[in-house]
Structures are given as C-alpha cells and as structure tokens.
C-alpha cells in the first residue's frame, strides 16, 4: 500500500524531471508559458525573470495556473474563464508558496507529486479492503491524467486524487468526509462532475439511506465559485467553454 503510494509519487516526479532534463530549462518549463497565446502573461512582471518562455509557441494550461497561484481569487481577464474556475489547484499552490512568485512553480509541482502519492495510497487502501493486491494502485500514478498534471502543472492529478479519497470514504460510509472530498475534486476540475453524477445515480438506484444524500451537495462550492466569478467578470462562462 505505502509502496504503491511511493511509486505513484516517484512516477509523477519522474514525469516532471523528464521535461526539465529534456529541455535543459528550470522548473518553470513545466508551466509551458507561451510567447504567442493571448495576453503576454510573462511580460507583465508577475512571473519571475527566470521564467522559461516557449518562443513562438502558444504554451499550455500550466501558464494560467502559475499566474493564478499568485492571486487565486482574482478575476484576471487574461486568464480564460474555463481555467479560472478550476480553483483548488492554484489555491493550494498559493497557500504553499504564500503567494511568492519565486516559489509558486515549486509549490504547484509539489502539489502534483503529493496528489499522485496520496491518490495511490487511498487506491491501495480501497483495493486491500476488498482482498486485492494493493500494488495495483501503482496504476493510479501511471494514468495519463496524473502524469499530464505533473508534466504541465495541471489539476488533473489533484482531481483524480480527491476522487480516489472520496471513493474510499464512501466505502466506509463516511458521507460527510466523502462529500467534502468530492467537492474538492469538482473545484480542482469540472470533469469530476461525471463520476459525481454516476455516484449519485448509483446511490439513488440502490436507495441508500439519507446520509448518502449528502453527496448531492458536493458540487455546491464549485457552483458558488462559478456564479461569483461570472458576476465579477460580467458574463457567465461555463467551465466547459474551453475554446478560450
């Protein structure tokens, strides 16, 4: 179980290091800050001077989460609403770095590695309680979402981690904690709404007790954040509007 968790963390770390070693750049290369995509986030002084910039490239989502880690509750129009609504990942980066631009990239990378390890741990617990080999949980750290999150500073690994925690808690009938974990998963990335809906429909089908109905409330923090953000930005932009 703990071996599987360690292996998941090692895989995530290796995915991050592979990018930095291949490019010969510093850790900010994980954010894939592009020179040509949208407003010049790397020029406005918020990011450190030593930030690696992909010349002539659009970059990738990590550039937005890196900027959000400096002001997670802001409503910067330079950041697409579809990314801005994925609050939890940059918020954790901000907490770990205390909003320091020099530390933000390290904090986000640490969140990605920790999420891989914790997700592997709870996957191992779930498997062991069902009489299965816990080392199968290593696959949790080898899936594309976790590795992508580690390589490009994206919230996919954090979302998967919290989903695994929620599944384990549901298996133990700890509905309040399971609901909180599921709420965190939806705040990490809206794709968590799909397994949440599956869980709610499954509980309704099996007519679980009233405690299980708490899970229906899991998306509430995400809904509140979406509404607040839309009000501040002056328009409603759903999280699945990813063409920005």
Domain ranges across the chain = 2-233
Distance CA 222, CA 75 (A): 15
3-state secondary structure (DSSP) of residue 43: coil
pLDDT digits over 66-105, tens only? 989 988 887 777 788 888 899 999 999 999 999 898 899 9
In the structure, what pLDDT confidence band is assigned to residue 203 with cuts at 50, 70 and 90? confident
Residue 142 above 80 pLDDT?
Answer: no
Maximal C-alpha separation, the chain: 57
Residue 61 above 50 pLDDT?
Answer: yes
- Spatial neighbors of 117 by CB under 8 A, at least 6 apart, are 5, 6, 8, 9, 12, 141
Angle between helix 88-97 and 156-171 (nearest 10): 100
| Alpha helix segments (H runs only) across 45-192 | 62-68, 81-84, 88-97, 104-128, 138-142, 144-152, 156-171, 175-188
pLDDT at residue 243, rounded to an integer: 43
């Amino acid at each position: 179980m703990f071996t599987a968790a360690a292996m998941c963390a090692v895989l995530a770390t290796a995915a991050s290091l592979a990018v930095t070693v291949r490019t010969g750049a510093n850790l900010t290369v994980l954010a894939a800050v592009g020179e040509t995509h949208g407003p010049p986030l790397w020029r406005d002084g918020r990011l450190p001077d030593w930030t690696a910039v992909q010349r002539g490239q659009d970059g990738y989502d990590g550039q937005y989460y890196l900027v959000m880690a400096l002001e997670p509750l802001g409503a910067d129009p330079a950041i697409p609403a579809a990314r801005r609504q994925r609050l939890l990942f940059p918020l954790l980066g901000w907490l770990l770095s205390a909003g320091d631009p020099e530390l933000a990239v390290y904090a986000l990378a640490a969140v990605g590695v920790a999420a891989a390890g914790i997700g592997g741990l709870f996957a191992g617990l779930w498997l062991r309680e069902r009489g299965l080999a816990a080392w199968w949980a290593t696959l949790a750290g080898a899936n594309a979402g976790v590795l992508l999150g580690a390589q490009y500073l994206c919230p996919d690994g954090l979302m998967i981690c919290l989903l695994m925690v929620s599944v384990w808690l549901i298996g133990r009938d700890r509905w309040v904690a399971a609901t909180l974990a599921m709420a965190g998963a939806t705040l990490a990335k809206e794709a968590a709404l799909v397994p949440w809906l599956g869980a709610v429909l499954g509980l309704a089908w099996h007519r679980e007790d009233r405690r299980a109905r708490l899970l229906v409330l899991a998306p509430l923090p995400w809904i509140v954040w979406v509404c607040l953000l839309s009000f501040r930005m002056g328009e409603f932009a759903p999280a699945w509007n990813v063409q920005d």
